[in-house]
Amino acid sequence: MSETPTRLGPYEIRGTIGAGGMGVVYLAWDARLHRSVAVKTLHPAFAVDAVARERFLREARAAAAVSHPNVTQIHDIGEDEGRPYFAMEYLEGQSVQELLDERGSIAPDLAVSIARQAAAGLKAAAERGIVHRDVKPSNLFLAKDGTLKVTDFGLAKQLLADSKLTSDGQFFGTPNYISPEQAGGGRADARSDIYSLGATLYEMVSGRPPFLGDSPVSVVMQHLRDPVPPVRQSNPAVPVPVATLIHKMLSKSPSARPQDYDDLIRHLDRTATTISAPAAIIAPQAARRDGADPSVHRPAGRIAAYCILGVSAIAVVGIWMKPGDAASTVPAPAAAPAAAVGRTEPATFRPRGSPRVLSEPAARPDLSIHDSAHEWTPEGMLRIYGRVENTGDAAAEAVIVRVVLMDEGGAQLDSLEVPALPTRLDAGAMGDFEAFFSNPRRKVSILVELHWLS
């Protein structure tokens, strides 16, 4: 049997689309229906391996069981001279991995659209009891018309199946995108695919996977035990709502992620509506120049907080930072002189497009900085720390604290995003945060922002 057949079953082989470790995909012509198709088959060396054959056929059966616009359609399954194959729709376009290889990263609005379509396809699979278990950029194909197709169900598993193919103690998945429970040899469900999709979304907007390492094992261990590096450290242009959702999807505990695809799709849809909106953070000093009472806590972005994102801000101004300062309580915004923050005009809020009016839920979280302080560490680092309090009547999830250093004119010098611990704050609960900066060697102001999912 030749390495490149001229035919497989009724299909005339016209070229090679791509090849992997065990299989190859050919461009073929179906003379019966006068259409091009993609035909996937095993390399001859694996065609005689019973386990490899069964896994290959399981991929075909799993994909064929799902009929959805965001899942590659399987046309036919067959065998030719002992070589199994299946024919599927031929798509023109490129994989998300190829797109990343070209661009480095993808604009957040396109990335969220890709994740939304992938979630819809994976939902259709989950409704058939199928977990993909290998969601990654190379298994998401973006057709020329913008349709996203989930491909390669080679590691897919029926949730209730008693398959010996996955009972040998090995983990299945790709290290850069594997969920902690898969990495630990545990049971994978739809939330495992949601984690892998979150890792894919992380890479799409930042240009790098969540974890990097010298070996696959080191990457897997990071998925198991290490905090996910803030995605906005890699790309500060990632909108906060997108970053917040990514970190929720990448929660170590499956119970802290979106619990199903309906939940995830709601989050993605709500996030998509905020991407093109201007920033909702308005510094308190601007409000004071408008005559507002600076002692009143006025969270910015309240409408967003009702639907997905909660935002509040406090400013600490006019602090002279130098090594050797004793730890001190940061003064409240009301006590700070307005002269310490510059004299820029208040920002004008100009919404783009028609506003969407969303109904207000009966209960919602309300977060604020309970207290905060600063000190210099023995290593000469500026440590800013404090507590976050939820005074609302509902839980806040994926709580992120953004600490910004500004000069006397209000220009940003540096910023960090750190999680509040715990990252979920129930009504009445409190969490802690800390951020470390190198010595700014000048008079600085501090802005602390809170972001959360409600």
CA distance 410 to 430: 30
CA distance 298 to 447: 14
Measuring CA to CA, which residue among 388, 397, 386 is closest to residue 368?
388
CA distance 287 to 297: 11
Q: Using DSSP, how many helices (H) and how many strands (E) does the chain show?
A: 12, 19
Give every CB contact of residue 50 below 8 A, 6+ residues apart in sequence: none
Are residues 347 and 300 in contact, defined by beta-carbon separation less than 8 angstroms?
A: no
CA distance 318 to 333: 10
**Could you give the C-alpha distances from 328 to 318, 363, 374, 383, 384, in angstroms and in order?**
14, 36, 6, 11, 10
CA distance 417 to 402: 4
Are residues 65 and 115 in contact, defined by beta-carbon separation less than 8 angstroms?
A: no
Task: Name the H helices within 290-418.
Answer: 302-307
Q: Report the residue count for the chain.
A: 454
Among residues 134, 152, 193, 366, the one annotated as catalytic is: 134
Give every CB contact of residue 214 below 8 A, 6+ residues apart in sequence: none
Establish whether 134 is a catalytic residue. yes
Looking at the DSSP bridge assignments, the partners of residue 142 are 94, 148
Task: Name the H helices within 210-355.
Answer: 216-225, 231-234, 240-249, 261-275, 284-289, 302-307
Give every CB contact of residue 247 below 8 A, 6+ residues apart in sequence: 228, 230, 231, 398, 400, 419, 423
CA distance 285 to 296: 12
In the chain, % helix, strand, coil (3-state, to 5) comes to: 30, 30, 40
Longest dimension (CA), the chain: 84
Which active-site residues does the annotation give?
A: 134
